Amino acid sequence: MKQKKTKHEFRSNTLPALITVGPVTLLMVLLIAVPLIYVAVMSFCSIDEFYNVTFQFTVQNYVRLANTDYLRIYAQSMGIALVTTLICILVGYPFSYIIARTKSRKKKILYMLVIIPFWTNSLIRIYGWRNLLGTSGWLNGLLMKLHLVSEPVDLLYKQGTTILGMVYCLIPFMILPLYTAIEKLDGSLLEASSDLGARPAATFFEVILPLTSGGIFSGSLMVFIPCLGYFFVSDILGGGNSDVIGNLIERQFQSGNNWPLGAALSIILIVVTLILVKIYQKLGGDMDALGV
């Protein structure tokens, strides 16, 4: 009897479920699952002497990636991402704190200052930096006019320039979760802390920081992961020692014309990302805070 009822319920629910969830599922399968499977399969394929992909199973692509040159670039990419994340925290935290805690209309203006660049194509913005920092750029022009330097300083094509570009592109991803976390902070907790004899610094480390660490955490993940793949930043601003994993992938698909190797690199990047997200979850991170 009971089973019959469940069956009936299932039937009556199937159609609405299909109608509501069906299209989304179809879209996800077509646009995410299928390409991902394609990339995964590709990473185990070989190429012939004319660089055509042949569907012949091999693990050679992965073996090649264990090479120290590749490993060095992974490490370098991680290093760039780490420094970028740290700078984003250091710059983004005070900024988010000010916007979140400002009561006046200034709050909206400050918030828009973060959001508006976010709406502009980042490629264009990065080219903007090139104009600003190049040897014939505005900054050098200004320095020359002020007679602070006698000849243009080469500011481009350095690892630092790549990091600057990364910070610039990714800092909104740090500020937004931080802003949410700080705004949620109950003001009476800060009053209570002060009331109990805590000076502002102690209140910060005892109350504000622990209660907003979730924001720092999700912001860091949101900055760190894209940083591994933002190849155009290091392409446009960076020099020889600022390649990220994204550059390797791009090169294999474009100039290298070795798609299976590029696919293997992509798979590794996905695995690294998944591991990081898993660690984030294990440490108690909130998936909703990531906007996924």
Q: Which is nearer to other proteins, 49 or 195 (CB)?
A: 195
Q: Which is nearer to other proteins, 91 or 198 (CB)?
A: 198
Total binding residues toward other proteins, as defined by CB under 8 A: 17
CB of 187 to other proteins, least distance (A): 9
- Looking at residues 173 to 212 of the shown chain, list those that interact with other proteins (rule: CB under 8 A): 186, 188-189, 191-199, 202, 206-207, 210-211
CB of 27 to other proteins, least distance (A): 39
Distance CA 190, CA 198 (A): 9
Give the contact letters, 156-175, x = binds to other proteins (CB under 8 A), - = no: --------------------
Q: Which is nearer to other proteins, 154 or 206 (CB)?
A: 206
Q: Which is nearer to other proteins, 82 or 198 (CB)?
A: 198
Distance CA 225, CA 222 (A): 6
CB of 91 to other proteins, least distance (A): 25
151 binds other proteins (CB under 8 A): no
Kindly list the residues in this chain that would bind other proteins in the complex (CB under 8 A).
Answer: 186, 188-189, 191-199, 202, 206-207, 210-211
